[in-house]
Amino acid sequence: MPAEIIHSGKTRARQTAEILARHLGASVREGEGLGPNDDPTPWARRLSEADNLMVVGHLPHLSLLAALLLTGDPPKEVVKFRYSGVLALTKEQGRWSVAWYITPDLLPQP
């Protein structure tokens, strides 16, 4: 479970982070450099040094960030992101891997 959720400055990202935080018991705050077209490199460094952190952002930034962490090559698409999807990465012995990925169509509809 994440201890902290960091979101972009966009309203929808903040709203999503707040919903997730209520269910996960995590703190929430806005972070810099999480816009759709921001460079993923600073966040790759930050995530490599952090534990239990969730990032709520936008495409293509999140796709580039995942590719950078998983392969070292941001333009290489390794996860076919869907809007409202949640990707969990884990780091063991210095290497990132996909723990799980949930897309909206996998969830029960109300």
Categorize the per-residue pLDDT at 51 as very low, low, confident or very high, splitting at 50, 70 and 90.
confident
H or E segment and range at residue 6:
strand 4-7
Q: Topology of 4-106 in CATH? A: Rossmann fold (3.40.50)
Residue 42 has what pLDDT? 97
User: In the predicted model, is pLDDT for residue 38 greater than 80?
Assistant: yes
> What is the three-class DSSP state of 43?
helix
Residues contacting residue 51 through CB under 8 Å, at least 6 positions apart? 3
State the Cα–Cα distance between residues 8 and 31, nearest whole angstrom: 6
pLDDT digits (tens, 9 = 90+) for 54-95: 999 999 999 999 999 999 999 999 999 988 899 999 999 989
Categorize the per-residue pLDDT at 45 as very low, low, confident or very high, splitting at 50, 70 and 90.
very high
* Domain layout of the chain by residue ranges: 4-106
State the Cα–Cα distance between residues 32 and 23, nearest whole angstrom: 24
Decide if 68 contacts 74 (C-beta within 8 A): yes
Residue 33 has what pLDDT? 97
